[in-house]
Structure 1
């Protein structure tokens, strides 16, 4: 259908593409072969996991933080008769403040988690829930390490619990 309307050879005549132009095709031979690594999203290794995991988490944090800022900006008292312009400014300021804070915080957590999880996968040569939970513990501990020992242990416990819940959820879905 596409070839009948457009001549793909005109994209770059020396490329000799003919009708072999495929978009968004994953090379099946480059997918990871690690035990337990098969999931809904095919992975070509730790770099794919790092990019997809961090990007998705960062964008989710922006959306969640933006919604939090929207609620905060709409409920902020602005005086007896605030203009629409003042209300809009309040909403935009709150969305920007909360969205960037939440997105950046979750993005950093995702980088820590994905790097640790990939390192554990490489060392143990398999991908399983224990790697995920250990990576969650390490991520929580590192994220809260500047607050002292007790908050660091609480962060590790929250990270372990969150990743344990995620692994349980993936098992049942």
Structure 2
């Protein structure tokens, strides 16, 4: 009890020398009035036409975080499933369980991070282009998404030459266009 008194007299129960967690909340200044991050103010939301969706956006930084994060996790999951299938197919069924497990885990950790990192990088570049084009044009629409997707894919494969660059741009533009059309239809 003397230790807590010397530290500033933290509240404690008579039965325990340790502070009661709920009684420490007012000391830290944690109450509903001071926790601003729990509420999303409508005045801070992006006002460009077409920028409202199921996830409210406060601008390019929110789009960058949500877009890159969800795309990274989706790529990591798909890559992990790809690695799981590859590992199960590569390792002989007659192999001992430890060898089989090691082969599967090696494939998962090879494919998952590769696809997740690649998708995350493309998503970051895409969100940057999409936001810049949206602010330049004054609206967010499918055209912005398709152009941003094409540019992102082309930049991602720009060191491989013209043909891979165009293929990658076409793939990412197609995915971005499909996302924009689906998003518009659903939301």
What's the counterpart of residue 137 of structure 1?
150
Which sections of structure 2, spanning at least 5 residues, go unmatched?
Answer: 1-19
Q: Please give the residue correspondences for 1:100-139 in structure 2 after superposition, counting only pairs within 5 Å.
A: 100-139=113-152
Find the structure with the greater CA-based Rg: 2
Per-residue CA shift, 1:3-47, capped at 9, x if unaligned?
xxx996731426273x54767321222111111111010001100
TM-aligned CA distance change 1:124 to 1:91, over 3 Å: same
- TM-score normalized by the length of structure 1: 0.86
Quote the Cα distance in structure 1 between the aligned partners of 2:40 and 2:159. Answer: 42
Matches within 5 A, 1:83-102: 83-102=96-115
Partner of 2:164: 151
Query: Quick check: 138-147 or 95-104, which moved more?
Result: 138-147
CA distance in 2: counterparts of 1:98 and 1:16, whole angstroms: 43
Separation in 2, partners of 1:171, 1:113: 18
User: CA–CA distance in 1 between the matches of 2:115 and 2:165?
Assistant: 20
2:91 touches 2:104 (CA, 8 Å); kept in 1?
no
Match of 2:74 among 36, 50, 60: 60
Separation of aligned partners in 1, 2:171 and 2:87: 30
The partner residue of 1:33 within 41, 44, 47 is 47
Distance 2:99 2:54 in 1: 45
CA distance in 1, matches of 2:24, 2:163: 64
Is the CA contact (8 Å cut-off) linking 2:149 and 2:169 kept in structure 1? Answer: yes
Q: What CA deviation, in whole Å up to 9, does each residue of 1:59-99 have, x standing for no partner? A: 11111111111111111134x84111111111111100000
Seen in structure 2, the aligned counterparts of structure 1 residues 7 and 31 have a Cα distance that, compared at 3 Å, is farther
**Equivalent-residue separation in structure 1 for 2:113 and 2:79 (angstroms):** 7
Structure 1 unaligned spans of 5+ = 1-5
Cα deviation, 1:140-164, whole Å, max 9, x if unaligned, reads 1111211111222222222222222
